[in-house]
Amino acid sequence: MSSLIEVGIVGGTGYTGAELLRLLARHPQARVKVLTSRQEAGKRADSLFQQLRGYCDVSYTAPDPEALAGCQAVFFATPHGTAMSMAPALVARGVRVIDLSADFRLKDPAVYRRWYQHEHACPELLAEAVYGLPELHRHDIAKARVVGNPGCYPTAVSLGLLPLLQAEAVDRGALIADCKSGVSGAGRELKLGSMFCEASDTLKSYGVAGHRHQPEIEQELSAAAGGPVGLTFIPHLIPMNRGMQATIYARLTRRDLDLQALYQDRYRGEPFVDVMPAGSEPETRSVRASNTCRVAVHRPGGGDTVVVLSVIDNLVKGAAGQALQCFNLMFGCDERTGLDAPPAAP
Protein backbone atom coordinates (compact mmCIF):
# COMPACT_ATOMS: atom_id res chain seq x y z
CA MET A 1 0.00 0.00 0.00
CA SER A 2 2.81 2.37 0.86
CA SER A 3 4.08 2.08 -2.69
CA LEU A 4 0.93 3.62 -4.20
CA ILE A 5 1.27 7.10 -5.65
CA GLU A 6 -0.98 9.35 -3.59
CA VAL A 7 -3.10 11.66 -5.64
CA GLY A 8 -5.25 14.69 -4.96
CA ILE A 9 -8.08 15.99 -7.09
CA VAL A 10 -9.20 19.58 -6.69
CA GLY A 11 -12.73 20.11 -7.90
CA GLY A 12 -14.05 16.63 -8.26
CA THR A 13 -17.72 17.36 -8.85
CA GLY A 14 -17.66 17.98 -12.59
CA TYR A 15 -17.61 15.47 -15.40
CA THR A 16 -13.84 15.53 -15.77
CA GLY A 17 -13.42 15.04 -12.03
CA ALA A 18 -15.79 12.09 -12.04
CA GLU A 19 -13.96 10.69 -15.04
CA LEU A 20 -10.66 10.92 -13.19
CA LEU A 21 -12.23 8.97 -10.33
CA ARG A 22 -13.47 6.32 -12.75
CA LEU A 23 -10.09 5.91 -14.40
CA LEU A 24 -8.06 6.05 -11.19
CA ALA A 25 -10.33 3.38 -9.68
CA ARG A 26 -8.59 0.93 -12.01
CA HIS A 27 -5.07 2.31 -11.75
CA PRO A 28 -3.05 -0.24 -9.78
CA GLN A 29 -0.31 2.21 -8.82
CA ALA A 30 -2.30 5.23 -7.74
CA ARG A 31 -4.72 6.06 -4.96
CA VAL A 32 -6.97 9.07 -4.56
CA LYS A 33 -6.03 10.44 -1.15
CA VAL A 34 -7.67 13.85 -1.29
CA LEU A 35 -10.77 14.91 -3.21
CA THR A 36 -11.93 18.44 -2.69
CA SER A 37 -15.18 20.28 -3.11
CA ARG A 38 -16.19 23.19 -0.97
CA GLN A 39 -19.85 22.59 -1.69
CA GLU A 40 -20.03 18.82 -1.30
CA ALA A 41 -17.59 18.46 1.60
CA GLY A 42 -18.55 15.50 3.76
CA LYS A 43 -20.38 13.61 1.02
CA ARG A 44 -19.09 10.48 -0.63
CA ALA A 45 -18.30 10.87 -4.31
CA ASP A 46 -20.50 7.88 -5.11
CA SER A 47 -23.49 9.66 -3.63
CA LEU A 48 -23.17 12.24 -6.43
CA PHE A 49 -22.09 9.73 -9.06
CA GLN A 50 -24.15 6.58 -8.63
CA GLN A 51 -22.03 4.75 -11.18
CA LEU A 52 -19.04 4.84 -8.81
CA ARG A 53 -20.84 2.78 -6.14
CA GLY A 54 -18.59 -0.17 -5.39
CA TYR A 55 -15.56 1.36 -7.06
CA CYS A 56 -14.73 4.47 -5.07
CA ASP A 57 -15.15 5.16 -1.39
CA VAL A 58 -13.56 8.61 -1.27
CA SER A 59 -15.42 11.54 0.25
CA TYR A 60 -15.15 15.22 -0.58
CA THR A 61 -13.33 17.52 1.78
CA ALA A 62 -13.01 21.28 1.76
CA PRO A 63 -9.86 22.32 -0.10
CA ASP A 64 -6.93 22.24 2.33
CA PRO A 65 -3.47 23.20 1.04
CA GLU A 66 -1.80 21.12 3.74
CA ALA A 67 -3.67 17.96 2.78
CA LEU A 68 -2.97 18.53 -0.90
CA ALA A 69 0.71 19.11 -0.16
CA GLY A 70 0.77 15.58 1.24
CA CYS A 71 0.02 14.17 -2.19
CA GLN A 72 2.59 13.34 -4.83
CA ALA A 73 0.38 14.59 -7.66
CA VAL A 74 -2.54 16.94 -7.74
CA PHE A 75 -5.02 17.17 -10.59
CA PHE A 76 -7.02 20.35 -11.02
CA ALA A 77 -10.46 19.76 -12.51
CA THR A 78 -11.59 23.28 -11.77
CA PRO A 79 -12.73 26.34 -13.68
CA HIS A 80 -9.82 28.44 -14.92
CA GLY A 81 -8.25 30.67 -12.30
CA THR A 82 -8.06 28.12 -9.48
CA ALA A 83 -5.05 26.09 -10.50
CA MET A 84 -2.79 29.08 -11.02
CA SER A 85 -3.66 30.35 -7.56
CA MET A 86 -2.79 27.09 -5.82
CA ALA A 87 -0.11 25.52 -7.99
CA PRO A 88 2.93 27.58 -6.93
CA ALA A 89 2.69 26.55 -3.28
CA LEU A 90 2.18 22.91 -4.20
CA VAL A 91 5.07 22.86 -6.64
CA ALA A 92 7.26 24.50 -4.03
CA ARG A 93 6.60 21.54 -1.79
CA GLY A 94 7.42 19.01 -4.43
CA VAL A 95 3.91 18.17 -5.60
CA ARG A 96 3.55 17.63 -9.32
CA VAL A 97 0.58 19.40 -10.82
CA ILE A 98 -1.61 18.36 -13.75
CA ASP A 99 -4.07 21.09 -14.57
CA LEU A 100 -7.11 20.21 -16.65
CA SER A 101 -8.22 23.83 -16.84
CA ALA A 102 -6.80 26.45 -19.19
CA ASP A 103 -4.41 28.02 -16.68
CA PHE A 104 -1.21 26.45 -17.93
CA ARG A 105 -1.89 25.96 -21.62
CA LEU A 106 -1.14 29.33 -23.19
CA LYS A 107 2.54 30.15 -23.15
CA ASP A 108 2.04 33.88 -23.54
CA PRO A 109 0.48 35.57 -20.48
CA ALA A 110 -0.80 38.34 -22.72
CA VAL A 111 -2.77 35.86 -24.78
CA TYR A 112 -4.11 34.36 -21.56
CA ARG A 113 -5.21 37.80 -20.40
CA ARG A 114 -6.91 38.58 -23.69
CA TRP A 115 -9.01 35.40 -23.73
CA TYR A 116 -9.66 34.96 -19.99
CA GLN A 117 -9.96 38.62 -18.99
CA HIS A 118 -7.59 38.56 -16.04
CA GLU A 119 -3.87 38.52 -15.35
CA HIS A 120 -2.08 35.24 -15.05
CA ALA A 121 -1.19 34.70 -11.39
CA CYS A 122 2.15 32.95 -11.85
CA PRO A 123 3.77 33.69 -15.21
CA GLU A 124 7.06 32.17 -14.08
CA LEU A 125 5.41 28.79 -13.45
CA LEU A 126 3.53 29.16 -16.72
CA ALA A 127 6.88 29.57 -18.43
CA GLU A 128 8.06 26.16 -17.32
CA ALA A 129 4.72 24.37 -17.66
CA VAL A 130 4.56 21.71 -20.34
CA TYR A 131 1.64 21.35 -22.74
CA GLY A 132 0.35 17.90 -21.97
CA LEU A 133 -0.01 16.40 -25.43
CA PRO A 134 2.17 13.28 -25.21
CA GLU A 135 2.26 12.87 -28.97
CA LEU A 136 4.15 16.17 -29.13
CA HIS A 137 5.83 16.63 -25.76
CA ARG A 138 6.25 13.16 -24.28
CA HIS A 139 9.74 13.68 -22.91
CA ASP A 140 9.09 17.10 -21.44
CA ILE A 141 5.93 15.86 -19.80
CA ALA A 142 7.86 13.08 -18.09
CA LYS A 143 10.04 15.65 -16.35
CA ALA A 144 7.47 18.40 -15.85
CA ARG A 145 6.53 19.88 -12.51
CA VAL A 146 3.42 21.43 -14.04
CA VAL A 147 1.46 20.10 -16.98
CA GLY A 148 -1.20 22.14 -18.75
CA ASN A 149 -3.53 19.44 -20.00
CA PRO A 150 -4.87 20.27 -23.49
CA GLY A 151 -8.45 21.20 -24.22
CA CYS A 152 -10.65 18.73 -26.03
CA TYR A 153 -10.88 20.62 -29.32
CA PRO A 154 -7.12 21.30 -29.40
CA THR A 155 -6.44 17.61 -28.87
CA ALA A 156 -8.69 16.46 -31.71
CA VAL A 157 -7.51 19.16 -34.10
CA SER A 158 -3.81 18.89 -33.28
CA LEU A 159 -3.67 15.14 -33.65
CA GLY A 160 -5.51 15.50 -36.94
CA LEU A 161 -3.17 18.13 -38.37
CA LEU A 162 0.26 17.36 -36.95
CA PRO A 163 1.42 15.00 -39.69
CA LEU A 164 0.46 17.43 -42.43
CA LEU A 165 1.99 20.46 -40.75
CA GLN A 166 5.18 18.77 -39.69
CA ALA A 167 5.61 17.51 -43.25
CA GLU A 168 4.89 21.02 -44.58
CA ALA A 169 2.35 19.41 -46.86
CA VAL A 170 -0.43 21.97 -46.64
CA ASP A 171 -0.95 25.71 -46.79
CA ARG A 172 -0.66 26.51 -43.10
CA GLY A 173 -2.39 29.84 -43.60
CA ALA A 174 -5.77 28.43 -44.63
CA LEU A 175 -6.75 25.69 -42.22
CA ILE A 176 -10.36 24.95 -41.36
CA ALA A 177 -11.53 22.87 -38.41
CA ASP A 178 -15.25 22.17 -38.33
CA CYS A 179 -15.68 20.57 -34.91
CA LYS A 180 -18.60 18.69 -33.38
CA SER A 181 -18.83 18.03 -29.67
CA GLY A 182 -21.11 16.13 -27.34
CA VAL A 183 -22.77 18.12 -24.60
CA SER A 184 -20.51 16.94 -21.77
CA GLY A 185 -17.89 19.25 -23.22
CA ALA A 186 -19.86 22.11 -21.69
CA GLY A 187 -19.39 20.69 -18.21
CA ARG A 188 -21.74 19.89 -15.36
CA GLU A 189 -22.51 23.48 -14.43
CA LEU A 190 -26.12 24.51 -14.91
CA LYS A 191 -26.48 26.28 -18.25
CA LEU A 192 -29.58 26.74 -20.35
CA GLY A 193 -27.83 25.50 -23.47
CA SER A 194 -26.85 22.26 -21.76
CA MET A 195 -30.39 21.34 -20.78
CA PHE A 196 -31.81 18.22 -22.36
CA CYS A 197 -34.68 20.09 -23.98
CA GLU A 198 -32.32 22.68 -25.44
CA ALA A 199 -29.70 20.32 -26.80
CA SER A 200 -31.52 17.18 -27.92
CA ASP A 201 -32.90 16.55 -31.40
CA THR A 202 -31.14 19.67 -32.67
CA LEU A 203 -27.69 21.03 -33.41
CA LYS A 204 -26.08 24.41 -33.74
CA SER A 205 -22.79 26.18 -34.20
CA TYR A 206 -21.59 28.25 -31.27
CA GLY A 207 -18.72 30.53 -30.45
CA VAL A 208 -18.43 31.50 -34.10
CA ALA A 209 -17.16 34.93 -33.12
CA GLY A 210 -14.33 33.41 -31.09
CA HIS A 211 -13.74 30.39 -28.86
CA ARG A 212 -11.10 30.12 -26.12
CA HIS A 213 -9.64 27.00 -27.63
CA GLN A 214 -8.62 28.93 -30.75
CA PRO A 215 -5.39 30.49 -29.39
CA GLU A 216 -4.41 27.18 -27.82
CA ILE A 217 -4.79 25.34 -31.11
CA GLU A 218 -2.92 28.07 -32.97
CA GLN A 219 -0.06 28.00 -30.46
CA GLU A 220 0.58 24.31 -30.86
CA LEU A 221 -0.04 24.14 -34.58
CA SER A 222 2.21 27.11 -35.25
CA ALA A 223 5.01 25.50 -33.30
CA ALA A 224 4.55 22.28 -35.23
CA ALA A 225 4.31 24.07 -38.57
CA GLY A 226 7.35 26.20 -38.01
CA GLY A 227 5.41 29.41 -38.51
CA PRO A 228 2.10 31.06 -37.76
CA VAL A 229 -1.00 29.24 -38.91
CA GLY A 230 -4.28 30.72 -40.07
CA LEU A 231 -7.18 28.74 -38.69
CA THR A 232 -10.93 29.00 -39.00
CA PHE A 233 -12.38 27.04 -36.10
CA ILE A 234 -16.15 26.52 -35.81
CA PRO A 235 -17.47 24.33 -32.99
CA HIS A 236 -20.91 22.70 -33.06
CA LEU A 237 -23.00 21.30 -30.23
CA ILE A 238 -24.31 17.81 -31.00
CA PRO A 239 -27.02 15.84 -29.15
CA MET A 240 -24.77 13.18 -27.67
CA ASN A 241 -23.20 12.75 -24.27
CA ARG A 242 -19.58 12.25 -25.15
CA GLY A 243 -17.57 12.30 -28.28
CA MET A 244 -16.01 14.84 -30.55
CA GLN A 245 -15.05 14.97 -34.18
CA ALA A 246 -12.83 17.46 -35.89
CA THR A 247 -13.42 17.53 -39.62
CA ILE A 248 -10.36 19.31 -40.92
CA TYR A 249 -9.89 20.89 -44.33
CA ALA A 250 -6.52 21.99 -45.71
CA ARG A 251 -5.06 22.83 -49.09
CA LEU A 252 -2.33 20.43 -50.21
CA THR A 253 0.91 22.02 -51.32
CA ARG A 254 2.72 18.75 -51.90
CA ARG A 255 0.77 16.48 -54.18
CA ASP A 256 3.42 13.77 -54.28
CA LEU A 257 2.87 12.61 -50.72
CA ASP A 258 1.29 9.31 -49.75
CA LEU A 259 -0.95 10.73 -47.08
CA GLN A 260 -1.91 7.37 -45.63
CA ALA A 261 1.75 6.46 -45.17
CA LEU A 262 2.50 9.90 -43.74
CA TYR A 263 -0.06 9.38 -40.98
CA GLN A 264 0.91 5.81 -40.27
CA ASP A 265 4.57 6.77 -39.99
CA ARG A 266 3.92 9.74 -37.78
CA TYR A 267 1.83 7.75 -35.31
CA ARG A 268 3.68 4.43 -35.41
CA GLY A 269 4.05 3.23 -31.84
CA GLU A 270 1.69 5.79 -30.38
CA PRO A 271 -0.46 3.84 -27.93
CA PHE A 272 -3.48 6.12 -28.26
CA VAL A 273 -3.60 7.22 -31.88
CA ASP A 274 -5.23 4.82 -34.31
CA VAL A 275 -4.69 5.67 -37.96
CA MET A 276 -7.66 4.10 -39.68
CA PRO A 277 -7.30 2.19 -42.96
CA ALA A 278 -7.54 4.29 -46.12
CA GLY A 279 -11.12 5.20 -46.96
CA SER A 280 -12.39 4.84 -43.41
CA GLU A 281 -14.83 7.05 -41.56
CA PRO A 282 -14.41 6.79 -37.79
CA GLU A 283 -17.43 7.17 -35.53
CA THR A 284 -17.18 8.91 -32.19
CA ARG A 285 -18.74 6.02 -30.27
CA SER A 286 -15.82 3.81 -31.33
CA VAL A 287 -13.71 5.67 -28.74
CA ARG A 288 -16.42 6.14 -26.12
CA ALA A 289 -14.97 6.13 -22.61
CA SER A 290 -11.50 5.35 -24.00
CA ASN A 291 -8.31 7.34 -24.49
CA THR A 292 -7.94 6.57 -28.18
CA CYS A 293 -7.96 9.11 -30.98
CA ARG A 294 -8.90 7.64 -34.35
CA VAL A 295 -7.76 9.51 -37.43
CA ALA A 296 -8.58 9.04 -41.10
CA VAL A 297 -7.12 11.04 -43.94
CA HIS A 298 -8.94 11.60 -47.24
CA ARG A 299 -8.42 13.45 -50.48
CA PRO A 300 -11.89 13.60 -52.02
CA GLY A 301 -11.92 13.28 -55.75
CA GLY A 302 -8.13 13.29 -55.75
CA GLY A 303 -8.17 17.08 -55.56
CA ASP A 304 -6.13 19.63 -53.67
CA THR A 305 -8.20 19.59 -50.54
CA VAL A 306 -7.20 17.13 -47.86
CA VAL A 307 -9.88 16.17 -45.36
CA VAL A 308 -8.90 14.72 -42.00
CA LEU A 309 -11.42 13.08 -39.67
CA SER A 310 -10.27 12.94 -36.06
CA VAL A 311 -12.44 11.55 -33.26
CA ILE A 312 -11.88 11.40 -29.51
CA ASP A 313 -13.90 11.07 -26.34
CA ASN A 314 -13.85 14.65 -25.11
CA LEU A 315 -13.86 13.55 -21.45
CA VAL A 316 -11.05 11.02 -21.85
CA LYS A 317 -8.44 11.80 -24.51
CA GLY A 318 -9.90 15.31 -24.40
CA ALA A 319 -9.53 15.64 -20.61
CA ALA A 320 -9.18 13.06 -17.83
CA GLY A 321 -7.63 10.25 -19.85
CA GLN A 322 -4.96 12.46 -21.34
CA ALA A 323 -4.25 13.81 -17.85
CA LEU A 324 -3.77 10.26 -16.64
CA GLN A 325 -1.56 9.49 -19.63
CA CYS A 326 0.60 12.45 -18.60
CA PHE A 327 0.55 11.23 -14.99
CA ASN A 328 1.79 7.84 -16.13
CA LEU A 329 4.64 9.48 -18.00
CA MET A 330 5.52 11.68 -15.02
CA PHE A 331 5.60 8.80 -12.54
CA GLY A 332 7.24 6.17 -14.71
CA CYS A 333 4.18 3.97 -15.10
CA ASP A 334 3.44 2.28 -18.38
CA GLU A 335 1.68 4.92 -20.43
CA ARG A 336 -1.40 2.72 -20.83
CA THR A 337 -1.94 2.03 -17.13
CA GLY A 338 -5.57 2.55 -16.17
CA LEU A 339 -6.40 3.37 -19.75
CA ASP A 340 -6.74 -0.08 -21.24
CA ALA A 341 -10.49 -0.81 -21.10
CA PRO A 342 -12.05 -1.26 -24.54
CA PRO A 343 -14.70 1.26 -25.59
CA ALA A 344 -18.31 0.17 -25.19
CA ALA A 345 -20.71 0.57 -28.08
CA PRO A 346 -23.57 0.90 -28.58
Is residue 346 involved in binding a second copy (CB under 8 A)?
A: yes
Q: Compute CA distances 49 → 22, 57, 101, 225, 271, whole Å.
A: 10, 11, 21, 42, 29
Q: How far is the CB of 194 from a second copy (least distance, A)?
A: 5
Catalogue the active-site residues: 152
Out of 28, 42, 94, 300, the only residue in the binding site for a second copy (CB under 8 A) is 300
Q: Which stretch binds a second copy (CB under 8 A): 20-28, 65-73, 94-102, 138-146?
A: 20-28
Q: Which of residues 29-88 bind a second copy (CB under 8 A)?
A: 49-56
- 249 is a site residue for a second copy (CB under 8 A): yes
Q: Which stretch binds a second copy (CB under 8 A): 1-9, 69-77, 143-151, 202-210?
A: 202-210
Cα distance between residue 109 and residue 176, in whole Å? 26
Letter for the amino acid at 81? G
Q: How far apart are CA 340 and CA 27, in angstroms?
A: 10
Which of 158, 245, 322, 337 forms a contact with a second copy (CB under 8 A)?
Answer: 245
291 within 8 A of 251, measured Cβ to Cβ:
no
Q: Does 287 bind a second copy (CB under 8 A)?
A: yes
Q: Quote the least distance from Cβ 243 to a second copy, whole Å.
A: 6
Positions 135 through 194 that interact with a second copy (CB under 8 A): 174, 176, 178, 180, 182-184, 188, 190-192, 194
Q: Which is nearer to a second copy, 1 or 209 (CB)?
A: 209
CB 91, CB 146: distance < 8 Å: yes
Q: What are phi and psi of 205, to 5 degrees?
A: -75, 155
Would you count residue 205 as binding a second copy (CB under 8 A)?
Answer: yes
CA-wise closest residue to 203 among 231, 161, 245 = 245
From 157, 162, 171, select the one nearest 266 (Cα to Cα): 162
Which residues inside 81-110 make contact with a second copy, applying CB under 8 A? none
Question: Rg for the chain (alpha carbons), in Å?
Answer: 20
The minimum distance between CB 123 and a second copy, in angstroms, equals 26
